[in-house]
Amino acid sequence: MREAHQDAVARVSEERLWRRHMEMARIGAIPGNGVNRAALSQEDIAARKVLIGWARDRNFEVGVDAIGNLFVRRPGHDAAAAPVMTGSHLDSQPRGGRFDGVYGVLAGLEALQAIDEAGVKTRRPIELVAWTNEEGGRFPPCTMGSAVYTGARKLEDFLDVKDNEGVALRNALAQTLAATPELAQRPMKTPVAAYIEAHIEQGPLLENAGKTIGVVTGIQGLRWFSIEVFGKTDHAGTTPLALRQDALRDAVYVIHALHELTRDATDTVRFTVGRMLVTPNSTNSVASHVLFSVDVRHPDPVTIDRLGKAVEPTARKAAKQCTIKVTPTLRDDPCVFDPGVISAVERASNELELRSMRLPSGASHDAMYMARICPTGMIFVPCEKGVSHNEAENAKSADLAAGARVLTAALLELANKDE
């Protein structure tokens, strides 16, 4: 590692990084050390303002694009060179933790600040991005900001998505953008030289193996569906069961059948029904409409394709009295990261004498979309017992700092590679 780069890495502050995590964790804090910071909510806006404040303290440029992705830029000395980018997201699950997403943003800011404090000149600019609505918990689907930024999906396709309270994304987005009117407007899909995202693992592998750094090789594929069951509401006391079109009863049959479809002795398939809305949702009335989500994932392209294709026919066959509508809402094939970025992360770990291992990601990340437009990789750090999407999510301050150091070294290598 060059001496200047070593100097930058040495300026990564574990104390400052932890303190910023705790400050962000207060925004949307919920009992049990958790965070509820829904995308495009007042809490999300507050977190954005805190990040913008920290970036301005170092005189970094801040911009925003049409879907609210926030960009913090430290210029390079080659005006024509595309930036090296890092980042993650500030939004959380409804009952999420203090590290999922926000770690990648704060580690990226720590890297930019350490490089800046060390006075290291880079050929390429280094940019930090905070993607809008990575979680999809309020407005499905997830990884929306990076999907739109990379051109994989159109912004217009998402504007009418509504949250559980009926608020359209269009309005929540407008409110978020209006809260920071001073930011420079950024176009979508500007050229990017490379992208590295730091994240907690959200699984137990690193902890179980006693490793500090996960060198992420790719992301498993997924299929999301929204399944609607259309029944008829009736009086629960008078209507014979044979005459009913009970949407909740059929939803239960469909979910049962999908459990059977995805049964897997190796426990590799991930199948989840996490969201269900019942209408009219009254003890006394047969349900007329049920909407539920389906999330299926697998690392093998052939298996995820087979399972994804089987969801609709399996659901149709299982419904007994109601009509159903199956809408695919997200489709990501397994993604393989760039060997050059994987090597840069692995090399940085080795030079910093950190115990690392290669592993795939079980969760989706914005890196999946970035991999479509530029060489991409990820850095994982351990989280306690692999718990995530849960208030109890936890990580060690030393591991977070180690990840930020690897990120700093890898960003510098990529930003100065062709010099």
- Name the site residues for a second copy (rule: CB under 8 A): 93-95, 135-137, 140-142, 164, 201-203, 220, 222, 224, 232-242, 246, 248-249, 252, 255-256, 259, 264, 267, 269-288, 293, 295, 297, 361-364, 386-390
Look-up: residue for tokens 């697998």? Answer: 298
Adjacent-strand bridge partners of 229 = 290, 324
Half-sphere exposure of 96 (CA within 13 A, CB side): 28
For the bound state, the minimum distance from the C-beta of residue 265 to a second copy, rounded and expressed in Å, comes to 10
For the bound state, the minimum distance from the C-beta of residue 63 to a second copy, rounded and expressed in Å, comes to 28
For the bound state, the minimum distance from the C-beta of residue 108 to a second copy, rounded and expressed in Å, comes to 21
Half-sphere exposure of 219 (CA within 13 A, CB side): 26
In the numeric block, which tokens belong to residue 243?
A: 């005459």
Look-up: residue for tokens 């600040």? Answer: 113
For the bound state, the minimum distance from the C-beta of residue 294 to a second copy, rounded and expressed in Å, comes to 8
Q: Which is nearer to a second copy, 182 or 267 (CB)?
A: 267
For the bound state, the minimum distance from the C-beta of residue 368 to a second copy, rounded and expressed in Å, comes to 11
Which of 201, 209, 203 has the alpha carbon at shortest distance from 386? 203
Q: Which is nearer to a second copy, 245 or 408 (CB)?
A: 245
For the chain, the helix, strand and coil percentages under 3-state DSSP, each to the nearest 5? 35, 25, 40
For the bound state, the minimum distance from the C-beta of residue 242 to a second copy, rounded and expressed in Å, comes to 5
258, exposed or middle or buried, with CB in 10 Å at 0-12, 13-18, 19+? buried
Q: Which is nearer to a second copy, 75 or 386 (CB)?
A: 386
For the bound state, the minimum distance from the C-beta of residue 391 to a second copy, rounded and expressed in Å, comes to 8
3-state secondary structure of 75: coil
Distance CA 390, CA 392 (A): 5
Centre a 10 Å sphere on the Cβ of residue 360 and count the other Cβ atoms it contains: 18
Q: Which is nearer to a second copy, 188 or 276 (CB)?
A: 276
Q: Which is nearer to a second copy, 220 or 408 (CB)?
A: 220
For the bound state, the minimum distance from the C-beta of residue 141 to a second copy, rounded and expressed in Å, comes to 7
Q: Which is nearer to a second copy, 25 or 287 (CB)?
A: 287
Going by the DSSP 8-state scheme, the letter that residue 204 receives in this structure is S
Centre a 10 Å sphere on the Cβ of residue 418 and count the other Cβ atoms it contains: 10
Q: Which is nearer to a second copy, 62 or 219 (CB)?
A: 219
Residues 6+ apart with CB under 8 A from 278: 247, 248, 287, 289, 290
Q: Which is nearer to a second copy, 100 or 127 (CB)?
A: 100
Q: Which is nearer to a second copy, 75 or 301 (CB)?
A: 301
For the bound state, the minimum distance from the C-beta of residue 1 to a second copy, rounded and expressed in Å, comes to 32
Asked whether the beta carbons of 415 and 123 are under 8 A apart, the reply is: yes
In the numeric block, which tokens belong to residue 386?
A: 């692999």
| Residue 79 vs residues 74, 75, 123, 150: alpha-carbon distances, Å | 12, 8, 8, 22
Amino acid at 6: Q
